[in-house]
Amino acid sequence: MKLQTAIDRLTLEEAVAKARLLDGQTDIIEMGTSLVKDYGNEAIRQFRQAVQKSTLLVDEKTIDEGAYEFRQGFENGADILTVMGAASKATLATCYEVAQTYHKTMMIDLMEVSAEKLQQIADFDDAIYCLHHSTDRKDVMNPSDTVAEFHQQLPHIKRLAIAGGIDLAGAKALAEQGLTEIVIVGSKIMKAADITAAVQSFKEVL
Amino acid sequence: MKLQTAIDRLTLEEAVAKARLLDGQTDIIEMGTSLVKDYGNEAIRQFRQAVQKSTLLVDEKTIDEGAYEFRQGFENGADILTVMGAASKATLATCYEVAQTYHKTMMIDLMEVSAEKLQQIADFDDAIYCLHHSTDRKDVMNPSDTVAEFHQQLPHIKRLAIAGGIDLAGAKALAEQGLTEIVIVGSKIMKAADITAAVQSFKEVL
């Protein structure tokens, strides 16, 4: 199982310093949406320079203009880009096509996607489907229950990721379950006193 | 009826020059999502400097982290920010709260929002509800039919906008119908040989 560490809501200078520190420590470094929105493509280019060993995911959260945003994201250095499952099927299809052309990866963020919509967008073979609990919601999810339920509904989806308040116990339960490819951790690592030690703890349980 | 002109997919320098040219000509200048994603807050600040007479809308397309994105958008100079109707109710509520605090405006982009979800998010009194046809979709909408249908479903929603391939004939029909507050035009103005003349033609029919 892979660990994705999300860097968010920092100045670009601080964020790039963290990315440099975590390069090679975590499997995937996520440049969070706040950095996309605050700094644009310049942030992707600086992250690409800092991230040489880990995979670089940019949490673009595309919801329209799929071809434009995905081309910009890959041209500026991303390995994986996110698109919202709530986007139109046409947007998802165009993002997938661009990702395939660049030999890169599309991750579908399933936040607020209905069961009905999910059925319509479940056919992107190489895409990673990310179960995502909105940070604005006050309720808490149990990650392994969420994965189990999803897997029961759509057993043919091979590549699964999960994000949203995941702690060490949650990560351990996901590792034991063995259905998830990527566990995404944000504040539980980035707000730790020693972030490299926190990454190490997560790597050990995964 | 107000005219909102969308500036998109240009270099920042070109986009700001267009904004300066259109300032005071169109009621609302939209800084499109491509400029948010390509250049971040720096683009909002440059647009704010260029736009002194028109209202400045930034098509932020927030779908999570509502408070953070809306604060950044307003602090950097936007008058109106967009949030996706497909976001969680909690995200919409937090964006609305921030907009109210700043005495600014929230526009809800209804792209890909189901009838059921729409009912759940129809209670933001001062928000502008934007009927939006994804640019990635190949099918075409009839704007005044779309507005009539929406108004019949949700007659209590006072503030309506519409976007997606609207031409002069479509704008004229909307003006005659009298239900829409804002007509959003992109390529039909921005791809014209003379964009100020194109704005003038739209202003005349509205």
B136 pLDDT band, cuts 50/70/90, is: confident
Considering CB atoms only, which of A36, A111, A114 is closest to B114? A114
pLDDT tens figures, B189-198: 999 999 999 9
Q: Is the pLDDT of residue B106 over 80?
A: yes
Residue A53 structure tokens: 């060993």
- Residue B48: what are its φ and ψ, rounded to 5°? -60, -40
> Which of A64, A84, A110, A112 would you mutate first to test chain B, the one with the most B CBs within 10 A?
A64
ipTM of the complex: 0.96
Burial B167-204 (b: 16+ CB within 10 A, else e): eeebbbbbbeeebbbbbbbbebbbeeeebeebbeebee
pLDDT value, residue B139: 75
Q: Which amino acid is at B139?
A: D
Average pLDDT score, chain B? 96
Residue to mutate among A33, A113, A136, with most B CBs inside 10 A, is A136
What are the chain B neighbours of A33 within 8 Å (beta carbons)?
64-65
| Facing A91 at nearest CB: one of B37, B65, B136 | B136
Please give the backbone phi and psi of residue A182, each rounded to the nearest 5 degrees, phi first.
Answer: -135, 130
H helices of B40-167, in order, are 41-50, 66-75, 89-101, 115-120, 143-153
Distance in angstroms (rounded) separating the CA atoms of residues A206 and A176: 8
Interface of A with B (CB under 8 A): 9, 33-34, 36-43, 60-61, 63-69, 72, 84, 86-88, 90-91, 94, 111-112, 114, 134-138
Q: Which residue of A has its CA nearest to B86?
A: A86
Q: Which H helix or E strand runs over A14?
A: helix A12-22
Residue B137 has pLDDT above 90, yes or no: no
Task: Give the Å distances, CA to CA, from A146 to A172, B117, B149.
Answer: 14, 22, 37
pLDDT at B141: 80
Cβ-Cβ contacts under 8 Å between A and B: the total is 111
How would you write the pLDDT of chain A (206 residues) with one tens digit per residue? 999 999 999 999 999 999 999 999 999 999 999 999 999 999 999 999 999 999 999 999 999 999 999 999 999 999 999 999 999 999 999 999 999 999 999 999 999 999 999 999 999 999 999 999 777 777 778 999 999 999 999 999 999 999 988 999 999 999 999 999 999 999 999 999 999 999 999 999 99
Cα B184 to Cα B28: distance, rounded to the nearest angstrom: 9
Q: What CATH number did the domain enclosing A142 receive? A: 3.20.20.70
> Quick check: B37 and A38 CB within 8 A?
no
Q: Which domain holds residue A61?
A: 2-205
Query: For the residues of B173-188, what is the DSSP string, one character each?
Result: HHHHHT--SEEEESHH
Residue B108 gets the label, from left (phi > 0), alpha (psi -120 to 50) or beta, of: beta
Chain B neighbors of A94, CB-CB under 8 A: 136
pLDDT at A136: 76
In this prediction, residue A4 carries a pLDDT of 98
pLDDT-derived band of residue B72, with 50, 70 and 90 as boundaries? very high
Element (H, E) at A133: none
Q: Which long-range contacts (CB under 8 A, 24 or more apart) does B191-200 make?
A: B195/B18, B195/B21, B195/B22, B196/B21, B196/B22, B196/B25, B199/B3, B199/B5, B199/B22, B199/B25, B199/B26, B200/B25
SS3 B146: helix
Residue B162: strand pairing partners:
B131, B183
Per-state percent for chain A, helix, strand, coil, to nearest 5: 45, 20, 35
Q: For residue range A17-65, what is the model confidence (pLDDT) as tens digits?
A: 999 999 999 999 999 999 999 999 999 999 999 999 999 999 999 999 9
Q: How many domains does chain A have?
A: 1
Among all residues of chain A, which has the CA nearest to that of B36?
A37
pLDDT in tens, B12-50: 999 999 999 999 999 999 999 999 999 999 999 999 999
Q: State the smallest CA–CA distance between residue A60 and chain B in angstroms.
A: 8
Q: Report how far apart, in Å, the C-alpha atoms of A85 and of each of A110, A161, B3 are.
A: 5, 13, 31
- Cα–Cα distances (Å) from A13 to A47, A63, B106, in that order, read 10, 28, 31
Residue A27, both tokens: 């499997």
The confidence band for B203, taking pLDDT boundaries of 50, 70 and 90, is very high
Residue B84 to residue A63, Cβ atoms within 8 A: yes
Task: Compute CA distances B121 → A110, A169, B115, whole Å.
Answer: 19, 35, 10
Q: Are strands B182-185 and A105-109 parallel, antiparallel or unpaired?
A: unpaired
Rounded to a whole number of angstroms, the CA Rg of chain B reads: 16
Rounded to an integer, what distance in angstroms lies between the CA atom of residue B1 and that of residue B21?
21
